[in-house]
């Protein structure tokens, strides 16, 4: 009997797991978006990332290629991989941040957060609401200012993603980069 001609002998197809490239790139993207890695910060070396993720360097390289195409990182030969796209102009992000006042950031957040929250309320699913509640609980139970800032950034990023508006998600990633940049803390 030919197993290929008999449907009863076919094994069910195993569910597809994300590839190593997808796992590595998704993890790094999330770390960048939530501020674990700040704008301009150098990422660990490919060798170190490969050890961390227990994968081949070629997998890490492909994941970094994906993030570079998305504009989340830039690579400098001989220097490493850095968070953020390669500068397009002579002014750097740090120069931009230096020119901002705390009121600038507060005004920007006040302008976009209520609308984003409304969209999120319209589009969020039960899983996203659970994630938001978990982040709020973590923020409420920390007494460390840096931890609170990280949880606050994570909450607003999740909220922006729940809004189903890619541009708002981008805006909140930029707000997090400004808020969590070491220079802003001064």
Neighbours of 162 (CB within 10 A): 24
Q: What is the pLDDT of residue 101?
A: 77
Phi, psi of 52 (to 5 degrees): -60, -45
- Nearest partner of 132 among 141, 124, 122, 123, judged by Cα: 124
Q: Residue 81 pairs with which residues in a beta bridge?
A: 75
Show the low-confidence residues of the chain (pLDDT under 70). Answer: 1-19, 85-98, 180-186
Helix axes 46-53, 20-33, angle to 10 degrees: 110
The pair of structure tokens assigned to 135 is 């982040």
Q: What is the pLDDT of residue 11?
A: 41
3-state secondary structure of 147: helix
Q: What is the pLDDT of residue 121?
A: 93
Q: What is the pLDDT of residue 153?
A: 83
Q: What is the pLDDT of residue 133?
A: 92
Q: What is the pLDDT of residue 9?
A: 46
Q: What is the pLDDT of residue 181?
A: 63
What the chain holds in terms of domains, given with CATH numbers, is 20-83 (1.10.10.10), 93-185 (no CATH)
**d(Cα 116, Cα 52) in Å, to the nearest integer?**
35
């Amino acid at each position: 009997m030919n197993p290929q001609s008999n449907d009863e002998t076919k094994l069910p197809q195993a569910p597809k797991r994300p590839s190593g490239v997808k796992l590595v790139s998704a993890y790094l993207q999330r770390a960048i978006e939530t501020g674990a890695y700040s704008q301009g910060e150098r990422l660990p070396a490919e060798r170190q990332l490969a050890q961390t993720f227990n994968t081949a360097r070629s997998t890490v390289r492909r994941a970094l290629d994906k993030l570079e195409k998305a504009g989340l990182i830039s690579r400098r030969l001989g220097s490493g991989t850095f968070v953020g796209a390669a500068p397009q102009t002579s002014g750097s992000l740090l120069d931009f941040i230096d020119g901002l006042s705390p009121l600038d950031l507060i005004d920007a957040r006040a302008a976009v957060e209520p609308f984003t929250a409304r969209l999120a309320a319209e589009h969020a699913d039960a899983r996203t609401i659970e994630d938001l509640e978990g982040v709020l609980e973590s923020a409420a139970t920390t007494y460390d200012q840096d931890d609170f800032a990280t949880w606050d950034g994570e909450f607003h990023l999740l909220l922006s993603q729940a809004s189903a508006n890619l541009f708002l998600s981008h805006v909140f990633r930029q707000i997090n980069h400004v808020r969590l940049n070491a220079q802003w803390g001064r």
